[in-house]
Amino acid sequence: MAAFPYASPIEKGWRYLHRLICGMVILFLIGPILTVLPLSFNSIPFFAYPMQGFTLRWYQEFFLAERWQTGLHNSVFIAISVTLLSTILGTLAALGLSRPHFPCRAAVTSILISPMIVPVIITAVAVYFFYADVGLLNSYIGLILAHTTLATPFVVITVTATLIGFDHSLTRAAAGLGAPPITVFFKITLPLIFPGMISGALLAFLTSFDEVVVALFVAGPEQRTLPKVMFAGVREYLSPTIIAAATVLIVFSIAMLAAIELLRRRSERLRGIRNN
């Protein structure tokens, strides 16, 4: 945003200082990533500069080696399953919480988003002991349900935020014209909250795809996800393939976050918050 023509020199100086501080904070956050990523193209298997040459060997190993591809396929399958399940549950929960006379709304909301607040290691230990009793350890169902517990709060928050600006007069008008509740939901409510649902679904996908702590406790050898393979590689054999896998995950996450931002802006335009 351009500075106002009537801004004083101090205000203009603070504007540029603010930009400088923001840039330094961003550089501090992404600096380690920018430093490590080029090493995924290093021709020698060492984590050090200067680089001895350029190679795609580590990316070839990531996309061709069986253990990496097995982890990738497991992660994609589990993340898609978690996304579908958490989107349905989170959307239903958000719709219920949006009702004006919902009892104990604050308490229920706190319980629903508690997996985001409680440290993951505590959740992983609790899930481990619970699943050990019911026989869900070392199974795809157990891992999907555990990841759904972590991912559903993101859907609840995004859909609830979409419903804050929801115009309920539209649903009342449709009901007054004789439309049944199911028709009102699919013709009016769903199209308006759909961007929030997609944003929550993308966040749920990323939550499951990048999660490693719960997978270490719940998953067995057949359910090894990509983050679990990377964690095992750090402990057993440190290879630049891990950096190549991390680079792929970072690029994928950036693409997903960009899609979420585009959907957020589209949702704001649909609700009349923005004009551009």
Categorize the per-residue pLDDT at 1 as very low, low, confident or very high, splitting at 50, 70 and 90. Answer: very low
Q: How far apart are CA 244 and CA 101, in angstroms?
A: 51
Q: Say if residues 163 and 95 touch (Cβ distance below 8 Å).
A: yes
Categorize the per-residue pLDDT at 128 as very low, low, confident or very high, splitting at 50, 70 and 90. Answer: very high
Q: Any idea which residue has 């380690």 for tokens? A: 32
User: Average pLDDT of 228-248?
Assistant: 83
User: Average pLDDT of 107-120?
Assistant: 88
* pLDDT, tens only, 32-53: 888 888 888 888 777 777 778 8
Q: What percent of the chain has pLDDT over 90?
A: 29
Q: Is 275 exposed, middle or buried (0-12, 13-18, 19+ CB in 10 A)?
A: exposed
Q: How far apart are CA 128 and CA 31, in angstroms?
A: 36
Pairwise pLDDT comparison (149 vs 14), residue with the higher score: 149
- Domains of the chain, each with CATH number or no CATH: 66-270 (1.10.3720.10)
Single out the residue of 69, 87, 75, 84 nearest to residue 214, CA to CA.
75
* pLDDT, tens only, 171-180: 778 888 888 8
Single out the residue of 227, 223, 217 nearest to residue 130, CA to CA.
217
Q: What pLDDT score was predicted for residue 55?
A: 86
Chain mean position to CA 215: 16
User: CA 243, 247, 248 angle in degrees (round to 5)?
Assistant: 120
User: Average pLDDT of 186-214?
Assistant: 87
Q: Say if residues 78 and 225 touch (Cβ distance below 8 Å).
A: yes
Q: How far apart are CA 261 and CA 203, in angstroms?
A: 11
* pLDDT, tens only, 132-187: 999 889 999 999 999 999 999 999 998 988 887 777 777 778 888 888 888 888 88
Cis ω before 32 (30° cut-off from 0):
no
Q: How far apart are CA 276 and CA 274, in angstroms?
A: 6
Residues 6+ apart with CB under 8 A from 128: 137, 217, 218
Q: What is the pTM of this model?
A: 0.81
Residue 42, beta-bridge partner list: 54
**Mean pLDDT across the chain:** 85
User: Average pLDDT of 194-215?
Assistant: 89
Q: What percent of the chain has pLDDT over 70?
A: 93
Categorize the per-residue pLDDT at 275 as very low, low, confident or very high, splitting at 50, 70 and 90. Answer: very low
